[in-house]
Amino acid sequence: MREQRIVVNHTWIRRFVTVLQALISIGFLVAAMWALWRLGNDMVKKLGTVTAFVGGFGLWLAFCTGLAKREVFAATAAYAAVLVVYIGRA
């Protein structure tokens, strides 16, 4: 029996993962904005939604990317700041 070899293009995989991570990041932002818009003027629900999205975003960064802890914290803080500004506008 002959053994088959699988050739993996590491550059392609790295690019695919980078694009996938970018799409997930954009998805977190857009989904949160749509959810906040749909909630109307209920501030308690909006804050709960922001908390859930920020927590999910932080966990995703921590466990699914190769970022250092300080980078995860900085990115999560920036994401939270954007959502808080959006709450004030919506």
Question: What pLDDT, in 10s, does the model give residues 44-78?
Answer: 999 999 999 999 999 999 999 888 999 999 999 99
Does residue 4 belong to any structural domain of this protein? no
Neighbours of 83 (CB within 10 A): 24
Does residue 26 belong to any structural domain of this protein? yes
CB 50 within 8 A of CB 87: yes
pLDDT at position 4 is: 83
Does residue 51 belong to any structural domain of this protein? yes
Does residue 47 belong to any structural domain of this protein? yes
pLDDT at position 87 is: 87
Flag the least confident range among 1-5, 13-17, 69-73, 78-82.
1-5
Does residue 3 belong to any structural domain of this protein? no
Does residue 41 belong to any structural domain of this protein? yes
- Which residue range forms the structural domain that includes residue 62? 10-89
Distances (CA, A) of 45 to 4, 35, 51: 55, 10, 10
Give the integer Cα–Cα distance in Å for 30 and 19: 16
Higher per-residue pLDDT: 70 or 8: 70
Tally of domains within the chain: 1
